[in-house]
Amino acid sequence: MLFKNLNVVTSRGIKNCDILVENGKIKDIGSFSAKGIDFNGSIVIPSVIDMHVHCRDFNQDYKETVETATKAAISKGVTGIVEMPNTSPPVNNEDIFEERRTLFKEKSYCDYGINFSVTDHLTFFDGYKFIKIFLTETTGKLLFKGDLDKLFSHKKPIAVHSDINGIKECVKLSIKYGTKLHVCHVSTKEEIEFLKEYKNENITVEVTPHHLLLPKNSENVKPDLGEKKDREALWKELGKTIDVIASDHAPHTEEEKKKGAYGIPGVETILPLTLDFAFRKKISFETLASLISENPAKIVSDKKGFGIGKDADFTVIEEKEWIVDSKNFYSKSKFSPFDGMKLKGTVKTVILRGEIVCDGETIKKINCKDM
Ligand code: NCD
Ligand code: ZN
């Protein structure tokens, strides 16, 4: 299969090319004379990955399911997600992890990685992306109570939800053992300044669109939304200390939100919001590609990213204005702090491993894979 005349966005710029796809993978990139599907110079973001998604399911399928969350993802151009383990019951042993994997294999509309959680011990098995640890309060009952030093000494990749104190501790231990550390959703100036100073090649840093955009106390989320000085510090480090923008898609019912549940849905707004950043020149398209595609791919999967041999995942976009309306979400969580916002940039076509899975109207389910 030959895709012709695409303008592919990467961290090195926007490059016009044709792409030869075989068995769902990129076989060659260049300029070819053979006939193929003409993309007429459309802008294409390869391999969009949201590294922070809560799909719920199991006992909380009234909030969201793997099916609805991943359908939501693909509908707005996200071709891969990484799922968080604070489900009910939590993904904290090998049997539940395998159950989760089966659920994704059967129901997912996009490719996926699954995180695993520990609170006080570590069971060894393969297949998860990160061991997720919670050092401060949030949805679920997964506060880590074990020995952090021991955990880091195993050298398994760790993703941490924490405040500055826990971040400092984890960074120290990551440096001590050379353990990979992903710092989830930074939210304060203090955190980002600390990370700027101590980050190395084993440490990656994530931010959410809501921590970049929303004022303090305007939404009930964990970590809390910061002040203006915090948001400014985060914006300044996008593409520098900050490697990844992820949504922290955290669906709840309206009733639960009224009662104070933490979190907001985001997997359907992450690409539109970040595209808007690029179209309105708040960040460059090169930085956009690093934050939502290249860096997440580098962090979670050697199959993803843009290059020969990688999965042929492409999101075709258009510079069109539209207004966010959460009533149209595929997520069960039909509310958004971004409702009514006029965004520049829409998703036209989504291609997963060479197959068109969304054409702007219909969504097609193919067999999705663990990344
Ligand atoms: C998340 C959730 O509801 O699962 N809530 C949130 O406010 N972000 C958990 C989390 O990522 O902290
Ligand atoms: Zn989260």
For ligand 1, say whether the CB of 83 is within 6 Å of any of its atoms.
no
Q: At what angle do helices 228-236 and 189-198 cross, to 10 degrees?
A: 30
Active site residues: 248
Distance 40 CA to ligand 1 centre (A): 41
| Rounded mean pLDDT, 349-365 | 96
Half-sphere exposure of 368 (CA within 13 A, CB side): 30
Find which of 83-97, 119-133, 134-148 is predicted with most confidence, using mean pLDDT: 83-97
Residue 47: other Cβ atoms inside 10 A: 27
Q: How does residue 277 score in pLDDT terms, banded at 50, 70 and 90?
A: very high
Report the separation in Å between the CA atom of 222 and the middle of ligand 1, taken as the mean of its atom positions: 6
Ligand 1 atom nearest to 263, measured from its CA: 7
Q: How far apart are CA 195 and CA 183, in angstroms?
A: 9
Q: Helical H runs in 125-163?
A: 148-153
Residue nearest to atom 6 of ligand 1 (CA): 263
Q: Would you state the structure tokens that stand for residue 192, as one six-digit string? A: 């980002």
pLDDT tens-place string over residues 156-194: 999 999 999 999 999 999 999 999 999 999 999 999 999
Residue 305 pLDDT > 90: yes
Q: What integer is the mean pLDDT of 355-362?
A: 94
Residue 227 burial (CB < 10 Å; 0-12/13-18/19+)? middle
Alpha carbons 47 and 33: distance in angstroms, whole number = 26
State the distance from the centre of ligand 1 to the C-alpha of 262, rounded, in angstroms. 6
Q: Is 221 in the pocket of ligand 1 (CB under 6 A)?
A: yes
Q: Which run of H or E residues covers position 66?
A: helix 66-75
- The pLDDT, as a whole number, for residue 361 is 86
When pLDDT is averaged across residues 312-323 and rounded to a whole number, the result is: 98
pLDDT value at residue 92: 93
**Cα–Cα–Cα angle for 98, 103, 107, rounded to 5 degrees:** 155
262 lines ligand 1 (CB under 6 A): yes
Q: For position 141, what pLDDT does the model report?
A: 85
* Test site for ligand 1: of 248, 264, 267, 270, most ligand atoms within 8 A of the Cβ: 248
The domain defined by 2-45+313-358 carries CATH number 2.30.40.10: yes
Largest Cα span, the chain: 61
CA 38 to chain centre: 29
User: Which atom of ligand 1 approaches the CA of 52 most closely?
Assistant: 11
Pocket of ligand 1 contains residue 223 by CB under 6 Å:
no
Atom of ligand 1 nearest to the CA of 220: 7
CATH code at 47-300: 3.20.20.140
Binned at pLDDT 50, 70 and 90, residue 119 comes out as: confident
Q: What is the DSSP string of 268-335?
A: TTHHHHHHHHHHTTSS-HHHHHIIIIIHHHHHH-TT-SSSTTSB--EEEEEEEEEE--GGG-SSS---
Residue 148 token pair: 């952090």
Looking at the CA of residue 86, tell me the nearest atom of ligand 1.
4
Q: Given pLDDT bands bounded at 50, 70 and 90, which one contains residue 123?
A: confident
First CA to last CA across the chain, in angstroms? Answer: 22
- Whether 279 is in the pocket of ligand 1, judged by its Cβ within 6 Å, is no
Which residues fall inside 5 Å of ion ligand 2, going by CB? Answer: 248
pLDDT for position 309: 98
- The confidence score (pLDDT) of residue 124 equals 77
Of 149, 150, 137, 140, the closest CA to residue 117 belongs to 140
For 42-76, the pLDDT digits (tens) are: 999 999 999 999 999 999 999 999 999 999 999 99
The response to whether residue 100 sits with its C-beta less than 6 Å from ligand 1 reads no
Q: What are the residue ranges spanned by the domains of the chain?
A: 2-45+313-358, 47-300
Q: Are 317 and 345 in contact (CB under 8 A)?
A: yes
